[in-house]
């Protein structure tokens, strides 16, 4: 007895695919899959790079906002001077700026009642590391005691608050309204700059990101 | 047995039309996918550019408010550094306003900062206007 399908296969000659056809189909499928994979991979990479760029920019914006908030909250009277040092190492800027702060959430000292000397600076993320981070170095300046606020605190009491990683340089310039020009450092304790230009260069970036930080008029005109 | 042979009896392979239809559907899917990815990238780029534009407007606003930047009635400045590709137009217009005694107030200006850049195929503008009252020296 004849097999039911045998006649059909023999008759039409195309009841199944030949080996070559199957191979060709598999090859086309593989090429298509590879193409889609490459497309998805490059898209994911591009999106990831773009998101990283945006995140870096937002990180700088957050840092700028935090420092700006500190400047707006400078004690109006008393020892409220700002000082800034300029330092260059291997062609990169490692500037720092110091001011007096009442503490608060911007300084991560919500429980503090006294005052701090605060320095925004760039330093190695770890000892002997070539990775740098920007942060706040805070040293108690006025400490609350049972008899009230007294001067106190040493460098040993100072703590470091890291704010931003993967930075290569930080440059600070100060606008002197009396001279009408930008200065690289600020040493005059009697007056404050009208604004500070902060330039942050991130790791792997060629150009810095700049922000102009306003010193409030009430703090400048004493 | 009948079922097994049913489809192969009529059409042993796909018709050209069927294949074309399949390829078209696949192609449309790929186009949709690429459009989706393109829009995602564009959204990220615009978000970044908007952040840069806001920053540059803020930077110039502070410099004008503190009178560190001398103003003229119309200025155009191609921006550098992180803002390369953007152009800033500054316009200053004297305001004619009167006080409560109907006397003219002098020295008040409306300053408009307009930053523009080309994003993809379109030019985007972002502006900031404020009233500026320079110190009388």
CA atoms within 13 A on the CB side of A112: 18
Domain for residue B37, yes or no? yes
CA end-to-end span of chain A: 114
Q: How far is A160 from chain B (nearest CA, A)?
A: 28
- Give residue A142's pLDDT: 76
From chain B residues 97-136, the ones with a CB under 8 A of any chain A CB are none
Of A44-48, A143-147, B67-71, the range with the highest mean pLDDT is B67-71
Pairing verdict, β A92-93 and A96-101: unpaired
Examine residue B112 and state whether it is found in any structural domain, yes or no.
yes
**Min distance A147 CA to chain B CA atoms (Å):** 42
Query: Stretch A162-180: mean pLDDT, rounded?
Result: 92
Q: Please check whether residue B85 lies inside any domain of the structure.
A: yes
Show the domain range for B101.
Answer: 14-132
Residue A106 is predicted with a pLDDT of 57
For residue range A186-213, what is the model confidence (pLDDT) as tens digits?
Answer: 988 888 899 999 999 999 888 899 999 9
Name the residue among A14, A44, A40, A81 with its Cα closest to residue B12.
Answer: A14
**Average of pLDDT values for A92-114?**
75
Specify the pTM: 0.76
d(CA A136, CA A184): 20
Say which residue the tokens 């190492």 belong to.
Answer: A89
Q: Which of A97-111, A138-152, B76-90 has the highest mean pLDDT?
A: B76-90
Q: Say how many C-beta atoms besides its own lie within 10 A of residue B34's C-beta.
A: 12
Q: Measured between CB atoms, does A5 come within 8 Å of chain B?
A: yes
Question: Across the interface, do A209 and B67 touch by the CB < 8 Å criterion?
Answer: no
Quick one: B124 exposed, middle or buried, by C-beta within 10 A (0-12, 13-18, 19+)?
middle
Confidence grade of residue A92 (pLDDT, cut at 50, 70, 90): confident
Which pLDDT score, from 0 to 100, does residue B20 have? 86
| Mean pLDDT computed over A154-181 | 90
Residue where the block lists tokens 């919500």: A110
Q: What is the ipTM of this complex?
A: 0.72
Separation CA B128–CA B86 (nearest Å): 15
Answer whether residue B4 is part of any domain. no
| A17: Cβ contacts below 8 Å, ≥ 6 apart | A25
More confident residue, B5 or B40: B40
Task: Please check whether residue A46 touches B, CB under 8 A.
Answer: yes
CB contact under 8 A, B82 and A207: yes
Interface-testing mutation among B30, B36, B55, B69, with chain A (most A C-beta atoms within 10 A): B55
Give the highest mean pLDDT range of A71-75, A127-131, B77-81. B77-81
The percent of residues above 90 in pLDDT, for chain B, comes to: 43
List B residues 13-32 in contact with A (Cβ-Cβ < 8 A): 13, 30
- pLDDT, mean of residues A79-97: 85
The per-residue pLDDT for A113 is 67
Instruction: Give the pLDDT confidence of B75-109 residue by residue, as tens digits.
Output: 999 999 889 999 999 999 998 888 888 888 888 89
Please count the residue pairs, one from chain A and one from chain B, whose beta carbons lie less than 8 angstroms apart.
82
Do the Cβ atoms of B47 and A54 come closer than 8 Å?
Answer: yes
Q: Do B48 and A4 touch (CB under 8 A)?
A: no
Q: With 90 as the cut, is the pLDDT of residue A53 above it?
A: no
- Residue B30 falls inside a structural domain: yes
pLDDT at B63: 93
Q: Which residue of B has its CA nearest to A59?
A: B51
From the list B41, B65, B82, the residue facing A47 with the nearest CB is B41
* Average per-residue pLDDT for chain B: 86
How many domains does chain B divide into? 1
Smallest CA-to-CA distance from A196 within A210, A207, A180 is with A210
Of A8, A57, A214, the CB nearest to B9: A8
Write down how long chain A is. 222
**With bands split at pLDDT 50, 70 and 90, how would you rate the model's confidence at B4?**
very low
Q: Are A49 and A135 a contacting pair, CB within 8 Å?
A: no
Name the residue facing B66 among A5, A177, A211 (closest C-beta).
A177
Residue in B1, B4, B62 nearest the CB of A195? B62
| A37 touching chain B per CB within 8 A | no
Distance between B9 CA and the closest CA of chain A, angstroms: 8
**Is A54:A46 a contact under the CB 8 Å cutoff?**
no
> Does residue B104 lie in a domain region?
yes
Q: In the prediction, which pLDDT does B126 show?
A: 95
């Amino acid at each position: 007895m004849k097999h039911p399908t045998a006649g059909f296969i023999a008759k039409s000659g195309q009841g199944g695919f030949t080996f070559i056809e199957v191979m060709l189909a598999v090859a086309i499928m593989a090429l298509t899959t590879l193409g889609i994979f490459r497309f998805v991979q490059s898209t994911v990479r591009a999106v990831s790079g773009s998101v990283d760029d945006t995140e870096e920019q937002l990180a700088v914006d957050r840092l700028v906002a935090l420092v700006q908030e500190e400047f707006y909250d400078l004690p109006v009277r008393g020892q409220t001077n700002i000082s800034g040092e300029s330092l260059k190492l291997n062609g990169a800027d490692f500037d720092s700026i110091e001011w007096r702060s009442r503490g608060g959430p911007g300084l991560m000292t919500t429980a503090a009642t006294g005052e701090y000397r605060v320095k925004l600076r760039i330093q190695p993320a770890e000892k002997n590391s070539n990775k740098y981070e920007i942060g706040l170095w805070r040293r108690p300046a006025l400490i609350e005691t049972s008899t009230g606020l007294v001067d106190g605190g040493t460098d040993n009491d100072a703590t470091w608050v890291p704010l931003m990683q993967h930075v290569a340089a930080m440059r600070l310039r100060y606008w002197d309204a009396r001279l009408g020009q930008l200065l690289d450092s600020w040493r005059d304790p009697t007056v404050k700059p009208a604004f500070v230009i902060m330039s942050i260069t991130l790791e792997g970036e060629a150009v810095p990101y700049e922000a102009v930080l306003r010193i409030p008029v009430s703090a400048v005109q004493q | 047995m009948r079922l097994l042979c049913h489809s192969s009896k009529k059409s042993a392979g796909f018709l050209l039309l069927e294949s074309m239809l399949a390829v078209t559907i696949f192609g449309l899917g790929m186009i949709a996918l690429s459009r989706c990815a393109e829009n995602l990238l564009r959204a990220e780029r615009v978000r970044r550019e908007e952040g840069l534009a806001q920053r540059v407007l803020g930077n110039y606003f502070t410099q004008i408010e503190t009178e560190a930047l001398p103003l003229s009635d119309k200025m155009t400045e191609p921006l550098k550094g992180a803002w390369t590709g953007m152009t800033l137009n500054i316009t200053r217009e004297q305001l004619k306003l009167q006080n409560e005694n109907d006397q003219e107030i002098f020295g008040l200006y409306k300053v408009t900062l307009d930053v523009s850049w080309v994003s993809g195929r379109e030019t985007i503008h972002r502006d900031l206007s404020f009233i500026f009252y320079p110190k009388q020296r």
